[in-house]
Amino acid sequence: MTEALYYQDPRLARTSARMASVARVASEASEAPDGASADGSATEGWIVELDRTIFYPEGGGQPADRGTIGGLAVTDVRKEGQRILHTVAGKPGGDEVDCRLDWPRRWDFMQQHTGQHLLSSVLAARCGAATVSIHLGDEVSTIEVDREALADGDLAAVEDRAAELIAADLPVTSRWVDDAELAALALRRPTQRRGSVRIVEIGDVDRVACGGLHVARTAEVQLVRLARVERIRGRLRTHWKIGRRALLDYRVRARIVDTLGEELSAPPDGVAGAVAELRGRLDGQDKALEAAARRIARSQAAALVAGARLHGARRIVTAAFEGEAPDFLRRVGQELASEAGLARLAGLAGLAFCLTNHAGGRLQWVMGADAKAGPQIAGLLPRLLATVDGRGGGKPPLWQGIASRPGGVGELLTAFEAACIDAP
Ligand SMILES: [Zn+2]
């Protein structure tokens, strides 16, 4: 049996203890579910048992403590019957070992746990919402309640009431009771436990059975802030920032709002409106830019068609652009492709085109021809692309891609024109 010093004094962060047993974690433990914790962290190192411990084992929604035993990292702590087993990164030397808690982490979880009791109590008293499950995570603490929804006003009232109870600096106390005492107590949440049961009370506002660790007074919870709510399986899961986490969260958010406010020349409560206005303006500009790009591509395509070389019943367009945006060549290609289709419908000479654009060290190409009246691009493609080490693809009436040899552009355009003239 290990003496649980954390119950006698939850603030004891350092002590010495006697080694009761030490054993190497068997390597096959990584496959054995009973030898591993949920995150698998118990599968490495040594299992150390002490005569007494300040390390809280995982339980009641509160995670296991961290720290060092004999200077070696404690990676997990769990309870097996009356024994508390520590997973340690190495084998501590000597009979007597120095034990140190990761105190900031423990304090954080004591704040989380006490804040959770306080919030569960207020959710029940103010909203009639009973706590179904809790999770104390590394980022947020969650409380799931037996309600599908709560109004924003109710949630704000819960936050306000919790702040009042924190300011009231109520004592948080624990005691052990037997079955007879337990039967006489009204608990916020009924317990199935019998024998010796640990009761945790916050002033006269909350009483539950709990084996976890808590701060001594509600003022030590500092602050609670609702982060968000989500609906899960017809229940409401509330996410909370509690204690110093809430303070840091406010600080980060305040800085973000201040920075945005300076950027936007807006007061804090005007930032959201300024962003919406900016977004509306950007959307309008995107549309105007899109329309302008379409007009430019159309007039560029018209100029190319006007300068096309006529060979029999076929008009041929070739051009090498420099420094244009990739989007430009794609748009001009699309305009020419639709022109190629329209030409046949109008009984005009068929249109075939090959364009390149060399910009930012990148060579881009588009080719096209009417599927019925033009040369069969698909068949010509491998030979044409070989001139520029190109790759890409498409289907009638448009093909496009990139290439890695800009020096071959002249050869590509000449080969394209020759192929169009030769094509039946
Ligand atoms: Zn508790």
pLDDT tens-place string over residues 272-289: 999 999 999 999 999 999
In degrees and rounded to multiples of 5, residue 107 shows phi and psi of: -60, -40
3-class secondary-structure state, position 408: helix
Calculate how far, in angstroms, residue 143's C-alpha sits from the geometric centre of ligand 1.
13
Q: How far is the CA of 301 from the centre of ligand 1 (A)?
A: 74
| pTM for this model (two decimals) | 0.72
Q: pLDDT tens for residues 107-159?
A: 999 999 999 999 999 999 999 999 999 999 999 999 999 999 999 999 999 99
| Residue 183 CA to ligand 1 centre (angstroms) | 20
Q: What is the arrangement of strands in the sheet containing 206-209, beginning at the earlier edge strand?
A: 172-177, 197-202, 206-209
Separation of CA 174 and ligand 1 centre (Å)? 9
What are the structure tokens assigned to 47, written together? 């299992």
Residues lower than pLDDT 50 in the chain: 28-42
**How many A from CA of 215 to the centre of ligand 1?**
10
- Residue 345's pLDDT is 62
Q: Which residues contact 195 (CB under 8 A, 6 or more apart)?
A: 178, 179
Q: What is the DSSP string of 327-386?
A: HHHHHHHHHHHHHHHHHHHTTPPEEEEEEEEEETTEEEEEEEE-TTTS--HHHHHHHHHH
pLDDT at 42: 46
User: How many Å apart are CA 7 and CA 213, to the nearest integer?
Assistant: 7
**Which residues are near ligand 1, the ion (C-beta closer than 5 Å)?**
113, 210, 212
- Ligand 1 midpoint to CA 213 (Å): 6
> What per-residue confidence (pLDDT) applies to 41?
46
Using alpha carbons, select from 327, 329, 375 the residue that is nearest to residue 355: 329
Contact 158, 165 (CB under 8 A): no
Which uninterrupted H or E stretch holds 158?
helix 152-167
- Measured in Å, residue 218 CA sits from the centre of ligand 1 at 13
pLDDT at 347: 65
Cα(389) to centroid of ligand 1, in Å? Answer: 69
Q: pLDDT, tens digit, for every residue of 30-41? A: 444 444 444 444
State in Å: Cα 142 to ligand 1 middle: 14
